Structure 1
Amino acid sequence: MTVRVVVADDQELVRSGFAMILDAQPDIEVVAEVGDGARAVDAVRRHAPDVALLDVRMPVMDGIEACRAIAAAGSCRTVMLTTFDSDAYVYEALHAGASGFLLKDVRRDDLVHAVRVVARGDALLAPSVARRLVEEYTARGAGRVDGAPLEVLTARERETLLLLGRGLSNAEIAAEFTVSEHTVKTHVGNVLAKLALRDRVQAVICAYETGLIAPGTPPHGGAARGR
């Protein structure tokens, strides 16, 4: 199946470069290139892509507002791009519904991998962005829920959320539990469904906001990604 992508960035060379990299893949098609967030939202409505690649800082409508509008409107998933790993918009973008967050200096293969991962329903964060998420959470003193919503989880599902919050992949969680990856996928699916979470990125946020993981605890390997 071909993954359809909209690329939005106000810098033409950057936008064209990302589009060329993605379009060169046999399973990816760039259906639109636009220079601001408002046009990105319009392109998503017109072309119904699987993934929207959005720059955080764009004129007319920034990437966060575009992400929020896209997430609310349908099934298209978003990957945010930024120049700086210290970008204060990381927290807002993830809460707006972003399924991925990458730096603009991302390697070609990692960009392609991110689009494929997000298109299949998983989520991905650049390692430095995962660290930034924790820093933003700590700095804001985001409200803890003291674990109340987690009462719906079984003990194993709670452990799964803890490891998701630390950034472990399905394979790493399987090794930790000494079970198959299929079993882990079932646990992850149950966690997301019971807590009404969109994907693994929201699971990371939930793990911190419920107090399951203490602020300041570094993610395992610094990344949260589906495998």
Structure 2
Amino acid sequence: MRVLLCDDHPIYRDGLRTLFDELGVDVVAEAGNGEDAVALASAFEPDIVVMDLSMPGIGGVEATRRILAEHPSMRVLALTMIDDHATVLAALRAGASGYLLKGAGHAEIRTALAAVQLGGVTVSAEVTAGLRAGLRSPHPFPQLTPRERDVLGLMSRGRTNEHIADVLSLSVKTVRNVVSSIFSKLAVSSRAEAVAVARDAGLEGHG
């Protein structure tokens, strides 16, 4: 099994590399951001990409989407600290074959790698429980405030901060602060990625 390891925390990558060595998994390359993940996937053509979702640049969800658009037979296993249902759905819709939280034990990671390599889909029990709870919520992003959901909806329709400020009767500075909060809560680093996550989750904008 040849694996590309993508995570922006070198210490965590070191721990995973040690585990993979013990499992007989060949780590062919390591990436610390989304753009490098896409480039290294093309350069090394691993069997599985182990992908953190909260990384600098385009982030893990968009990197997953781009990798699988170019290499449909490649597998992506998300291994992240993010457990909100909207991000889980976004990752799975982007094509990820598995979703584990970083608290997963060695046995769970080993089982997930084997399942993903064989073409299966695996989601950790904690994520499944959170996903069920999230799906019962009337909103696709329960971690966002109503104002943040309104702003995100308008962003998903291509509206500028100035337009959003006018529609919601806010100052442009307030809108910028809300957008920053949305980025933090969705673990994204750009407007385009926030919009992609919103659309994947089916969030509709207003006006």
Partner Cα distance (2:27, 2:70) in 1: 20
Match of 1:139 in 2: 137
Structure 2 equivalent of residue 42 of structure 1: 39
Q: Deviations over 1:178-210 (max 9, x none)?
A: xxxxxxxxxxxxxxxxxxxxxxxxxxxxxxxxx
The offset of 1:122, in angstroms, is: 0.8
Sequence identity percentage: 35
* Residue 50 (structure 2) aligns with: 53
C-alpha distance 60-25 of structure 1, shift in aligned 2 (>3 A): same
| 2:27 alignment partner AA | V
Q: Which amino acid aligns with 2:77?
A: V
Kept after mapping to 1: 8 A contact 2:85/2:131:
no
Separation in structure 2 between the aligned mates of residue 76 and residue 23 of structure 1, nearest angstrom: 21
Q: 1:119 aligns with which of 114, 117, 120?
A: 117
**In structure 2, what is the equivalent of residue 11 of structure 1?**
9
Mapped contact 1:78–1:98 kept (Cα < 8 A): yes
Where do 1:1-227 residues align within 5 Å? 3-26=1-24, 28-74=25-71, 75-86=73-84, 88-139=86-137
Give the 3-state SS of the residue equivalent to 1:80 in structure 2. strand
Report deviation, 1:93: 0.6
SS, match of residue 56 in structure 2: coil
Whole-Å separation in 2 of the counterparts to 1:59 and 1:84: 15
* Mapped partners of 2:70, 2:58: distance in 1: 16
How far off is 1:140 after superposition?
A: 5.9
- Quick one: distance in 2 between partners of 1:39 and 1:140? 37
2:152 is matched with which residue? Answer: none
Q: Which runs of 5+ in 2 are unaligned?
A: 141-207
Q: Unpaired runs of 5+ in structure 1? A: 143-227
Aligned AA (1:20): T
Cross-structure match for 1:185: none
Provide the aligned C-alpha RMSD in A: 1.7
Tell me if the contact between 1:19 and 1:33 (Cα under 8 Å) persists in the aligned partners.
no
Cα separation, 2, equivalents of 1:8 and 1:52: 7
Q: How far 1:88 moved relative to its partner? A: 3.8
Aligned partner letter, 1:92: A
What code does the residue aligned with 2:7 have?
A: D
Q: Give the TM-score taking structure 2 as reference length.
A: 0.63
Structure 1 CA distance for aligned equivalents of residues 82 and 58 of structure 2 = 19
CA distance in 1, matches of 2:137, 2:70: 31
Going from structure 1 to structure 2, the CA distance change for 1:20 and 1:135 (only over 3 Å counts) comes to same
- Residues 49 and 79 of structure 1, relative CA distance in 2, 3 Å threshold: same
Structure 1 CA distance, aligned partners of 2:138 and 2:17? 35
**Pairs aligned (count):** 139
Instruction: Tell me by how many angstroms 1:111 deviates.
Output: 1.0
* CA-CA distance at 1:87 after TM superposition: 6.0
